[in-house]
Structure 1
Amino acid sequence: MSIISKSKFKFSRGFAIAAGILASSLALSSCMDDIESPELPPAAYVSIYQGASAAPVMNIYANQNQVNQQPLGYTQVLPYSAYYTGNRDFRFSASNSATSLLEKTFQLKADSVYSIFVATKAEGIDAIISEDIWEEPTAEKAQLRFVHLSPDSENVYLEISGSTTPLVAESTFKSVSEFEEITPGNVTLKVKSTETDEVLIQTGTLEMKGNRVYTLILRGLQAETTGDKKLDIQLVTNFINY
Structure 2
Amino acid sequence: MLAAAIFAGSLTLTSCMDDIESPDLPPAAYVSIFQGATDAPAMDIYANQNRVNQNPLEYAQILPYSAFYPGTRDFRFSAFNSATSLLEKDLVLAADSVYSIFVANEAEGIDAILTKDVWEEPTAEKAQLRFVHLSSDAANVNLEVADSDVSVAEGVAFKSVSGFMEVEPGNVKLAVKSTSTGETLIQSGTLELKGNRVYTLVLRGMQAETTGDKKLDIQLVTNFVNY
TM range (shorter): over 0.9
Residues 97-128 of structure 1 deviation map (CA, whole Å, 9 limit, x = unaligned): 11110001111111100000000000110000
Residues 196-233 of structure 1 deviation map (CA, whole Å, 9 limit, x = unaligned): 11100000111111111100000000111000000000
* 1:19 Cα deviation after fit: 3.3
Aligned counterpart for 1:171 among listed residues 156, 172, 176: 156
* 1:186 Cα deviation after fit: 1.0
C-alpha distance in 2, partners of 1:167/1:20? 34
Aligned counterpart for 1:15 among listed residues 4, 27, 44: 4
* 1:169 Cα deviation after fit: 1.3
Show the counterpart of 2:75. 90
* 1:146 Cα deviation after fit: 0.3
Aligned counterpart for 2:23 among listed residues 28, 32, 38: 38
Show the counterpart of 1:123. 108
Show the counterpart of 1:53. 38
* TM-score normalised by length of structure 1: 0.89
8 Å contact kept, 1:91–1:104: yes
Show the counterpart of 2:94. 109
C-alpha distance in 2, partners of 1:207/1:37? 40
Residue aligned with 1:167, SS: strand
8 Å contact kept, 1:148–1:172: yes
Please say if 1:227 is aligned against 2:212: yes
8 Å contact kept, 1:18–1:40: no
Residues 121-140 of structure 1 deviation map (CA, whole Å, 9 limit, x = unaligned): 00110000110000111111
C-alpha distance in 2, partners of 1:60/1:92? 5
* 1:162 Cα deviation after fit: 6.0
Residue aligned with 1:139, SS: coil
CA RMSD between the two structures:
1.6
* 1:22 Cα deviation after fit: 3.6
Residues 149-171 of structure 1 deviation map (CA, whole Å, 9 limit, x = unaligned): 00001111011136414211110
Show the counterpart of 1:6. none
Question: Structure 1 residues 138 and 35, CA, compared in 2 at 3 Å: closer, same or farther?
Answer: closer
The unaligned stretches of length 5 or more in structure 2 are none
The unaligned stretches of length 5 or more in structure 1 are 1-8
Structure 1 window deviating more from structure 2 (173-182 vs 202-211): it is: 202-211
* 1:33 Cα deviation after fit: 5.8
C-alpha distance in 1, partners of 2:191/2:58? 25
Aligned counterpart for 1:147 among listed residues 115, 127, 132: 132
In structure 2, what residue type is equivalent to 1:57? Answer: A
Please say if 1:214 is aligned against 2:199: yes
- Corresponding pairs, count: 227
